[in-house]
Amino acid sequence: MAGGIWLIAGLGNPGKRYDGTWHNAGRMAVTELGRRHGISIKRRRFQGLTGEGTIDGVRVRLLLPNTYMNLSGDSITRAMAFEKIPPERVIVLYDDFDLPLGRIRIKDQGSAGSHNGMKSVLSYLPRHRFPRVRIGIGPLPPGDVIEFVLAKIPAAARETLDQALADACDAVELIVRGDQQRAQERFNQKG
């Protein structure tokens, strides 16, 4: 399995209406990862946008599901089936308002919490361990949750979020190199 391909998926919603919203933090992180490694994520496939390349010599497929958040698992499992990628070689990046803005957390198991995108992924991959990179967008302000996650990210928060996206990319690079433990030690304690 050492030479197998990794699937790296960034959850979010497609279309201009959702660009630059909190709920697209996972999508933004994977887009940034593609930029870092010269991987174009433009091909329409697996009900999403995808691109293939390498990170430090390791083959990766980047995926931005276009199914809307609540059906993310469908896009991810189509890509897994096509490439015969086992769950442990799938990394899912997504926003989390239970984590403070600027923080990321790496785990390979657990519930989806209140995140509908992860609920969808876990409905296809129940009981499977796979790396997840949660990107903090919290704390949740008073008011409507959906209104908040679909709101545009204010300029004042952008620098902090951009640092978290960079950390998420660094974490993914460590994971595909086989160093998830180091990624967890480095980022889960950061504060």
Question: With left for phi above 0 and alpha for psi between -120 and 50, is residue 97 left, alpha or beta?
Answer: alpha
The superfamily in CATH containing domain 6-187 is Peptidyl-tRNA hydrolase (3.40.50.1470)
Res 1: pLDDT:
40
- 2: pLDDT strictly greater than 60: no
- 144: pLDDT strictly greater than 90: yes
3-state SS, residue 171: helix
167 vs 125: CA distance, rounded Å: 26
**30 contacts: CB under 8 Å, gap ≥ 6:** 8, 9, 10, 41, 62, 63, 64, 93
Q: Is 23 marked active-site? A: yes
Token pair, residue 61, equals 């497929």
* Statement: the pTM of the whole predicted model exceeds 0.85: yes
The interaxial angle of helices 116-124 and 72-83, nearest 10 deg, is 40
**Across 1-15, 79-93, 121-135, 154-168, least confident range:** 1-15
- 190: pLDDT strictly greater than 90: no
Res 167: pLDDT:
98
Q: Quickly state the pLDDT bin for 191 (edges 50, 70, 90).
A: low
118 vs 110: CA distance, rounded Å: 10
Mean pLDDT of 138-155: 95
Mean pLDDT of 157-167: 98
